[in-house]
């Protein structure tokens, strides 16, 4: 029995050494670049997130940020931290999406023998990983609008909560003015602005510009647009066109009433593709 305990302690100590060595390697390889990247982007992050990262152990911003990544790696041997760091440095992963990344990586780690490709480095960004693991996630039952509380529905449609720009037979376009409205109109989506069990980023986006939520009534499909960041996301928080049609351009060309409701001036950067005069 004593021999077994000694062997167990040796294995545990070896794991700790391996983890420490991996963290040291990552810090030496990426520390300076993480510091530089965080310096560039920190001003666009929420004060709460910046404060959370500042409380991580480390002598530099890069080391603190690396420890924040390590804390979101669901594997036992920190196998996915390097992938997350690389994607962050290349713009394929946002800090605000680390909690979501951790949940996808947990599914990937559990089911990678059935996921193709099974090499995490084959996925160029979080959206690609999400598409791969989605079939292995237990899907919850969507909540029908009929089951929503009528009082809450009326409250969320009041002018201090949201502004409806278009309400036709086929489409609805609105701007949420509060986090509560963003959660309500974004329910059953993967949008970080609709999050209730993790940090909600509505205020972070709203400070930089309005969010537009578009609902196609016949199919109940929804999209959320944020022009300042050129983010045009479907319900799975995947850029339009990445997970099947329509693309942003095709959607706007097919629904000019949506463009008119939002204001054609917002679409000037895409004037040629859309066909604006």
- Position 190 scores a pLDDT of 93
| Cα 154 from Cα 21, distance rounded (Å) | 56
- Please tell me the predicted confidence (pLDDT) of residue 96: 86
Neighbour-count burial of 52, counting CB atoms closer than 10 A to its CB (0-12 exposed, 13-18 middle, 19+ buried): middle
Distance CA 199, CA 228 (A): 21
pLDDT of residue 5: 39
Which among 138, 72, 154 is positioned nearest to 105, based on CA atoms?
Answer: 72
pLDDT for position 24: 85
Distances (CA, A) of 33 to 15, 45, 66, 79, 170: 27, 18, 11, 20, 48
For residue 213, the SS3 value is: strand
Write out residues in the chain with pLDDT < 50, as ranges. Answer: 1-17, 139-148
Cα–Cα distance for residue pair 107/95, rounded to 1 Å: 19
State in Å, rounded, how far the first CA of the chain is from the last one. 82
Which pLDDT value is given to residue 164?
93
Please name which of 264, 108, 94 lies closest in space to residue 193, comparing C-alpha atoms.
94
**What per-residue confidence (pLDDT) applies to 156?**
83
Q: What is the dihedral of CA 80, 84, 87, 88, to 10 degrees?
A: -170
Q: Do the Cβ atoms of 171 and 255 come closer than 8 Å? A: yes
Strands (E), the chain: 162-167, 171-176, 212-216, 221-226, 231-233
Instruction: Identify the pLDDT of residue 2.
Output: 40
Of 92, 90, 95, 99, the C-alpha closest to 61 is: 95
pLDDT digits (tens, 9 = 90+) for 88-137: 999 889 888 888 898 899 889 988 888 989 999 999 999 999 999 988 87
**pLDDT at residue 151, as a whole number:** 60
Q: What is the dihedral angle through the alpha carbons of 49, 50, 52, 56, rounded to the nearest 10 degrees?
A: 140
State the pLDDT at residue 165: 95
pLDDT given at position 19: 63
């Amino acid at each position: 029995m004593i021999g077994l305990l000694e062997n167990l302690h040796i294995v545990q100590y070896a794991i700790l050494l391996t983890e420490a060595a991996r963290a040291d390697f990552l810090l030496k390889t990426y520390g300076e670049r993480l510091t530089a990247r965080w310096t560039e982007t920190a001003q666009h992050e929420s004060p709460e997130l910046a404060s959370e990262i500042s409380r991580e152990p480390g002598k530099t911003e890069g080391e603190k940020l690396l420890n924040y990544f390590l804390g979101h790696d669901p594997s036992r041997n920190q196998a996915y931290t390097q992938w997350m760091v690389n994607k962050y440095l290349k713009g394929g992963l946002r800090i605000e999406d680390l909690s979501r990344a951790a949940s996808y990586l947990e599914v990937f780690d559990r089911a990678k023998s059935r996921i193709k490709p099974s090499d995490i480095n084959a996925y160029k960004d979080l959206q690609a990983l999400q598409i791969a693991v989605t079939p292995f996630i237990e899907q919850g039952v969507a909540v029908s609008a009929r089951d929503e509380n009528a009082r809450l529905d009326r409250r969320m449609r009041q002018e201090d909560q949201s502004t409806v720009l278009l309400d036709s037979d086929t489409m609805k376009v609105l701007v949420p003015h509060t986090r509560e409205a963003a959660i309500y109109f974004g329910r059953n989506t993967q949008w970080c602005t609709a999050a209730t069990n993790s940090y909600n980023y509505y205020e972070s986006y709203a400070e930089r510009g309005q969010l537009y939520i578009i609902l196609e009534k016949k199919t109940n499909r929804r999209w959320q647009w944020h022009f300042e960041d050129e983010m045009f996301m479907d319900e799975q928080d995947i850029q339009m066109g990445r997970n099947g049609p329509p693309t942003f351009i095709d959607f706007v060309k097919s629904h000019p009433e949506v463009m008119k409701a939002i204001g054609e001036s917002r679409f000037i950067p895409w004037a040629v593709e859309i066909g604006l005069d």
